[in-house]
Amino acid sequence: MRVDKISVRRISIPFNWQVSHNLYNGTETEAIVVVANDESGLLGYGEGTPRTFVTGETLDKTIETANSLAERIAANEFHTFKALTEYLGITGSLELSQQYPSAWCALELAILDLWAKRRGKPLWRLFTQKPVPDPYVYSAVIPVVTEQSLSPFLSMVKKLRLGFLKLKIADKESGIAALRLARENLGPDVDLRVDCNGAFSPEEAIAFIEEVQPFGMSAVEQPVPKTDISGLGFVTSRSMVPVIADESMCTLEDAMQLIGQKACNGFSIKLSKCGGLIKCLKLLDIARANGIFCQISCHIGETAILAAAGRHFYALSRQCKYLEGSFSKYLLREDIVKKDISFGLKGHAPLLTGPGLGIEVDESILKRWLTDEGPGSL
């Protein structure tokens, strides 16, 4: 396979509702889509969702970096999957790729999608013959909202009969109120966990965890700011529920530091923040070897490209405790594929078995939401 051409585009699709949490407030996607062509004109797609508050990436620098890295890849020819993955591993370890994981994630996914399509195989089949059996069970994720606004979200969770729910909270009082309302509305059987997005000091986090125990919280995510690793360890050592690292866990080095300091019980792994599928598979191995459970997660605003990639990633995982993503039909005004792949009743979604990512991007829809023009446009 020769990578004949790579284009990097900026897209913006409005949300159906305001999205906010302690570190982010938005009304539309902020993403790049990478399209890779082979010599026959076949297309592979990738997506990156830079989040400054997580990895320090800006959208403009992500696009600039993706274009720079694309110049290294375009016109290269690969004859075996081993040669391809070795090349991706080397290029993904460059300082530029590590500084801008969303850019590298989009490029790597586009190349892997293209390779798998050429062979008529689903992407997960490139790595295993025995995927995790479906149906896959997704969690609902509710952003920070007022207590009054929370009720419609809970009604949707109840209507879809979802068994897992993550609530994002901004402070102790509203967090307690949200958990209480969720438990009252959903009953005792729904698994409820909380994402604090670094809202607390270590002592405040412990106080919060103790106070919400009557509501049966199953886990707490990123209770302290991302750089406070010792504080995260303090919470983990005293918490009555498992502690998940999210913003604190972006790289392989982050993972080893967290493990070395016994700073968490779980990793939240996102393809975009962690630099693509190959690096995320390594994170899974590290977690498994050290008794850390994993949550395969997503950034708000991902289209079906990253949603599909996340599902292929889950197909390659074992012993993952929570799965998030694949909810674009509930969030985006319009997705960029011809057939929706969002989860449905009970949070269930199937293994994707079509070639590549197993989705068909509708280029007319994609063009509608492009926010830049110039050379390389689709």
- Output the average pLDDT for the chain: 94
Q: Do 164 and 286 belong to one domain?
A: yes
- What's the pLDDT score for residue 319? 76
Mean pLDDT along residues 186-192: 97
- The answer to whether position 50 is within a domain reads yes
Which contacts qualify for 255-260: CB closer than 8 Å, 24 or more apart? 255/283, 255/286, 255/287, 256/286, 257/229, 258/229, 258/232, 259/286, 259/290, 259/292
- The answer to whether position 357 is within a domain reads no
Q: What is the pLDDT of residues 99-146, one digit of tens each?
A: 999 999 999 999 999 999 999 999 999 999 999 999 999 999 999 988
Q: Do 192 and 305 belong to one domain?
A: yes
Q: Do 194 and 244 belong to one domain?
A: yes
Q: Do 210 and 329 belong to one domain?
A: yes
- The answer to whether position 130 is within a domain reads no
- The CATH number linked to 251 is 3.20.20.120
- The answer to whether position 42 is within a domain reads yes
Question: Please, which pLDDT band fits residue 28 given cuts at 50, 70 and 90?
Answer: confident
With 70 as the cut, is the pLDDT of residue 23 above it? no
- The answer to whether position 354 is within a domain reads no
Count up the domains in the chain and report the number: 2
Q: Residue 245's beta-bridge partner residues?
A: 267
Q: Do 98 and 181 belong to one domain?
A: no
Q: Do 211 and 317 belong to one domain?
A: yes
Q: Do 102 and 187 belong to one domain?
A: no
- The answer to whether position 128 is within a domain reads no
- What's the pLDDT score for residue 27? 76
Q: Do 340 and 258 belong to one domain?
A: yes
- What's the pLDDT score for residue 145? 87
Q: Do 217 and 91 belong to one domain?
A: no
- What's the pLDDT score for residue 372? 72
- What's the pLDDT score for residue 20? 60
- The answer to whether position 195 is within a domain reads yes
Q: Do 302 and 246 belong to one domain?
A: yes
Q: Do 249 and 340 belong to one domain?
A: yes
With 70 as the cut, is the pLDDT of residue 377 above it? no
Domain that holds residue 44: 3-120+363-368
Q: Do 22 and 146 belong to one domain?
A: no
- The answer to whether position 162 is within a domain reads yes
- The CATH number linked to 92 is 3.30.390.10
Q: What is the pLDDT of residues 279-316, one digit of tens each?
A: 999 999 999 999 999 999 999 889 999 999 999 999 99
**Whole-number Å distance between alpha carbons of 58 and 100:** 9
Mean pLDDT along residues 304-329: 95
